[in-house]
A = this chain, B = another copy of it.
Amino acid sequence: MPHEITATIISIGDELLIGQTINTNAGWIGMQLGLIGVRTKRVVTIGDERQEILDTLGEATTDIVLITGGLGPTKDDITKHTLCEFFGTTLEKHPEIEASILAFFTSIGREPLEVNRAQADLPASCTVIPNTRGTASGMWFDVDEQGAPNAKATVYVSMPGVPGEMKRMMLDTVLPYLVQRFDPPSIVHRTILTTGMGESHLAQRIEGWEDSLAAEHIKLAYLPSPGTVKLRLSAYAEEDPDAAIQRINSKVAELHALIPELIFGEGEQRMQEVVGRLMKKHGQTLSLAESCTGGYVSHLITSVPGSSAYFTGGVVSYANAVKMEELGIPSDMLELNGAVSQPVAEQMATGVRTALRTDWSIAITGIAGPDGGTPEKPVGTVWIAVAGADGVQSKCEHFIGSRGAVIQRSALASLEMLRRRLLDSSS
On A, residues with C-beta under 8 Å from B are: 16-24, 26-32, 34, 39-47, 52, 56, 59, 221, 223, 288, 290, 293-299, 301-303, 305-308, 311-319, 321-322, 325-326, 355-357, 368-371, 403-404, 407
Q: Which residues of B are found within 8 Å of A34, using beta-carbon distances? A: 18-19
A308 to B356 CA separation, bound complex (whole angstroms): 25
Query: Do A43 and B45 contact each other (CB < 8 Å), given the known contacts A23-B26, A319-B312, A370-B305?
Result: yes
Determine whether the beta carbon of B313 is less than 8 Å from that of A288.
no
Determine whether the beta carbon of B312 is less than 8 Å from that of A298.
no
Query: Do A30 and B41 contact each other (CB < 8 Å), given the known contacts A298-B295, A302-B295?
Result: no
A24 to B16 CA separation, bound complex (whole angstroms): 10
Q: Which residues of B are found within 8 Å of A293, using beta-carbon distances? A: 299, 302
Q: Which residues of B are found within 8 Å of A326, using beta-carbon distances? A: 313, 315, 326, 355-356
A326 to B42 CA separation, bound complex (whole angstroms): 56
A24 to B313 CA separation, bound complex (whole angstroms): 35
25 inter-chain pairs at a CB distance below 8 angstroms, sorted by A residue, are A16-B27, A16-B30, A17-B41, A17-B42, A19-B26, A21-B27, A23-B27, A42-B52, A44-B45, A293-B299, A294-B301, A294-B303, A294-B307, A296-B299, A296-B302, A299-B299, A302-B318, A307-B318, A312-B318, A312-B321, A313-B319, A313-B322, A313-B326, A314-B315, A315-B315
Cβ contact of A299, chosen from B24, B39, B295, cutoff 8 A: B295
Determine whether the beta carbon of B295 is less than 8 Å from that of A314.
yes
A299 to B373 CA separation, bound complex (whole angstroms): 20
Cβ contact of A18, chosen from B30, B52, B322, cutoff 8 A: B30
Q: Which residues of B are found within 8 Å of A321, using beta-carbon distances? A: 312, 356-357
Smallest distance from the beta carbon of A2 to chain B beta carbons, Å? 19
Query: Do A40 and B26 contact each other (CB < 8 Å), given the known contacts A298-B298, A315-B313?
Result: no
Name the CB-closest residue of B to A288: B316
Smallest distance from the beta carbon of A375 to chain B beta carbons, Å? 15
Smallest distance from the beta carbon of A228 to chain B beta carbons, Å? 13
Smallest distance from the beta carbon of A73 to chain B beta carbons, Å? 12
Determine whether the beta carbon of B319 is less than 8 Å from that of A308.
yes
Q: Which residues of B are found within 8 Å of A368, using beta-carbon distances? A: 302
* Other A-B pairs, 12, CB within 8 Å; known A20-B27, A294-B301, A325-B356: A19-B27, A20-B223, A22-B24, A290-B298, A294-B302, A295-B297, A299-B299, A302-B368, A308-B318, A308-B319, A313-B316, A322-B356
Q: Which residues of B are found within 8 Å of A288, using beta-carbon distances? A: 295, 316
Name the CB-closest residue of B to A24: B22
A16 to B24 CA separation, bound complex (whole angstroms): 10
Smallest distance from the beta carbon of A253 to chain B beta carbons, Å? 25
A295 to B289 CA separation, bound complex (whole angstroms): 11
Name the CB-closest residue of B to A314: B316
Determine whether the beta carbon of A45 is less than 8 Å from that of B46.
no
Determine whether the beta carbon of A316 is less than 8 Å from that of B319.
no
Determine whether the beta carbon of A44 is less than 8 Å from that of B47.
no
Name the CB-closest residue of B to A291: B313
Determine whether the beta carbon of B43 is less than 8 Å from that of A31.
no
Cβ contact of A295, chosen from B24, B295, B370, cutoff 8 A: B295
A230 to B40 CA separation, bound complex (whole angstroms): 34
Determine whether the beta carbon of B41 is less than 8 Å from that of A44.
no
Determine whether the beta carbon of B46 is less than 8 Å from that of A31.
no
